[in-house]
Chain A
Amino acid sequence: MTVDIPISGMIIAYILFFIVFFLSQINRLEITRDLVVSTLRMTLQLFLVGWVLVYVFEWESPIIITGIFLLMVFFGAWTIMERSGVSYFQIFLSLLCSLFLGTGFVLLFFLFFIVEVTPWYDPQFFIPLAGMIIGNSMNGSTLAVERFFTGVRDRKLEIETKAALGANAREASLEIFKQSYKASLLPTLSSMTGMGIVFLPGMMTGQILGGTPPLIAIKYQITIMLAILASVALSSLLILLLERRFLFSHLDLPRYNLIKNNSR
């Protein structure tokens, strides 16, 4: 049974926002603008996506669903590039490729073999799952891209010293690669570790509030967490491989002009 929230309830919810707002004002914490902008954006974006989803759910077209997936991947790749500060067209293309392959594979695997939805493009499953998988992969990939870039830039001497002893790009940047990959997985791993004890995950809470029995909700949560882990790992690994290819020359040395021009 789904319990709807009445308009009055929605308005009352904003009382919580105003408590934060006034507390910040009284204590002159200078965060008013961020508070207002973020709350307004969240409200508008969710209403907008709600409207869009109403129509998408009615259409149930594989072309439209695939189009939405591609759009999500495109904006995901763009956001990673912006947030990581590594702004190169080749990096954007690499991100598109790694995010598309990493999330696409896991998403289809989940739909075909885990929940076995027919048709696979059922928007009720596809859209929320794609959102969660792409969102998490985006966060992981941002960390991977940023860490590897700053690692190569800041540890130039280490790379050159190893190269001078015969190491190729893979061997010379192995430590940086491992650390970047680990960093990309850390948020997912720590959220998995705390799940159920420290907090109840958002999706599971949503399902339970929506009337799903807790034992079904945890099955969804467990499988989706495994899917998220796989897609974060896959897309981060792919982007790291492509980024390494881009940042190193044919002589297995950092491409200094790229690293220098794009310091953050």
Chain B
Amino acid sequence: MSIFKMQEVSIIIEDRTILEKTSLEIPPDNIIGISGPSGAGKTTFLKIFNRLWEPATGEIFFEGKPITSIEHTLLRREVVLLFQEPLLFGPRVKDDLLFPFSLPRFKQNPPARSMLEKALQAMSLPVSYLGKNSSELSGGEKQRIAIARSLLLQPKVLLLDEPTSALDQELSDSLLDCIFQIHTPRLVMFISHDPKLLQQADVHYRLQNHQLKKGGIKK
């Protein structure tokens, strides 16, 4: 069974068509890379999978269920989206990593300290950063903390918008391995212009002229 199924989905932003009546089945255990020209609507495309944006027409199914039938805040914890501009809430890195668990509605136990340390190490950050002030971090460090924060929720799907934009080349190249050290989602879908990262995807789509075109499959 596909993890996501799109049925005749159209995306429109203020009279501008981003995607026109597209049907697609996305199998699980996959890494999907998405590229396309600036302004093509790639970020909005990612947002439709956890209802941060509503498609103008069509329906999306997650594990066989229409996503509109799933409570949207629960869906967003199973299908986590990470924005290009990482935002930390502070005051300390530890508070940031634990933010998703501070929402009392979900009654989800926070991860143990050893798990937080493992997440930092996987992101090539020292354990001592747990007590560090979030506002003192560099752009790249913030991005790594934001990725770790999303993964600690152990989502089924991880959606990443330009995840390597603030990272150095070495870390960019090994990003997916770093992610899988913390948690292995059933689907990772990312937007990137980085050819090396796109090469690591199982399937590559290009969003252009309101169409989603398959760019290539990893051999």
- Chain A CB within 10 Å — which of B72, B73, B83, B153 has the most? B73
Q: Contacts A158-B87, A161-B83, A252-B72; is A166 near B52 (CB within 8 Å)? A: no
- Complex CA–CA separation, A168 to B76 (angstroms): 10
A163 at the interface (CB under 8 A from B): yes
A164 CB contacts on chain B under 8 angstroms: 50, 52, 76, 80-83
Interface pair B77/A166, CB less than 8 Å apart: yes
- Complex CA–CA separation, A153 to B143 (angstroms): 23
Interface pair B52/A165, CB less than 8 Å apart: no
- Complex CA–CA separation, A170 to B1 (angstroms): 36
- Complex CA–CA separation, A160 to B99 (angstroms): 14
Interface pair A166/B83, CB less than 8 Å apart: no
Least CB separation from A158: chain B residue: B87
Interface pair B87/A167, CB less than 8 Å apart: no
Query: Number of B residues contacting the other chain (C-beta, 8 Å)?
Result: 24
A60 CB contacts on chain B under 8 angstroms: none
Q: Shortest Cβ distance from A256 into chain B, in angstroms?
A: 9
Partner of A161, one of B72, B73, B87, B103: B87
- Complex CA–CA separation, A252 to B103 (angstroms): 14
B105 at the interface (CB under 8 A from A): yes
Q: Shortest Cβ distance from A6 into chain B, in angstroms?
A: 63
A171 at the interface (CB under 8 A from B): yes
- Complex CA–CA separation, A158 to B87 (angstroms): 7
A197 at the interface (CB under 8 A from B): no
B74 at the interface (CB under 8 A from A): yes
B83 CB contacts on chain A under 8 angstroms: 157, 160-161, 164
B103 CB contacts on chain A under 8 angstroms: 165-167, 171
Question: What's the dominant secondary structure at chain B's contact region?
Answer: mixed
- Complex CA–CA separation, A139 to B56 (angstroms): 41
- Complex CA–CA separation, A253 to B72 (angstroms): 11
B153 CB contacts on chain A under 8 angstroms: 165-166
Q: Contacts A165-B76, A166-B106, A167-B73; is A157 near B52 (CB within 8 Å)? A: no
Q: Contacts A165-B150, A253-B52; is A157 near B76 (CB within 8 Å)? A: no
- Complex CA–CA separation, A178 to B113 (angstroms): 30
Query: Number of A residues contacting the other chain (C-beta, 8 Å)?
Result: 15
CB within 8 Å of A: which B27-84 residues:
50-52, 54, 72-74, 76-77, 80-83
CB within 8 Å of B: which A126-172 residues:
157-158, 160-168, 171
A251 at the interface (CB under 8 A from B): yes
Q: Shortest Cβ distance from B95 into chain A, in angstroms?
A: 13
B50 CB contacts on chain A under 8 angstroms: 164
- Complex CA–CA separation, A167 to B80 (angstroms): 12
B100 at the interface (CB under 8 A from A): yes
Partner of B52, one of A158, A160, A168, A171: A160
Residues 76-108 of B, flagged 1 when their CB comes within 8 A of A and 0 if not, give 110011110101010000000001100101100
B5 CB contacts on chain A under 8 angstroms: none
Q: Shortest Cβ distance from B88 into chain A, in angstroms?
A: 9
B100 CB contacts on chain A under 8 angstroms: 165-166
- Complex CA–CA separation, A166 to B81 (angstroms): 10
Partner of A252, one of B73, B85, B149: B73
Extra contacts, 15 of them, besides A165-B80, A171-B105 (Cβ < 8 A), are A157-B83, A157-B85, A160-B52, A163-B52, A163-B73, A163-B76, A164-B76, A165-B77, A165-B103, A165-B149, A166-B73, A166-B103, A167-B73, A168-B73, A251-B52
Query: CB within 8 Å of A: which residues of B?
Result: 50-52, 54, 72-74, 76-77, 80-83, 85, 87, 89, 99-100, 103, 105-106, 149-150, 153
List 6 A-B pairs, minimum CB-CB distance, nearest first: A166-B77, A165-B100, A161-B87, A164-B81, A166-B73, A166-B76
Query: What are 14 A-B contacts defined by CB distance under 8 Å?
Result: A157-B85, A157-B87, A161-B87, A162-B89, A164-B52, A164-B76, A164-B80, A165-B149, A165-B150, A166-B74, A166-B76, A166-B100, A167-B73, A251-B52
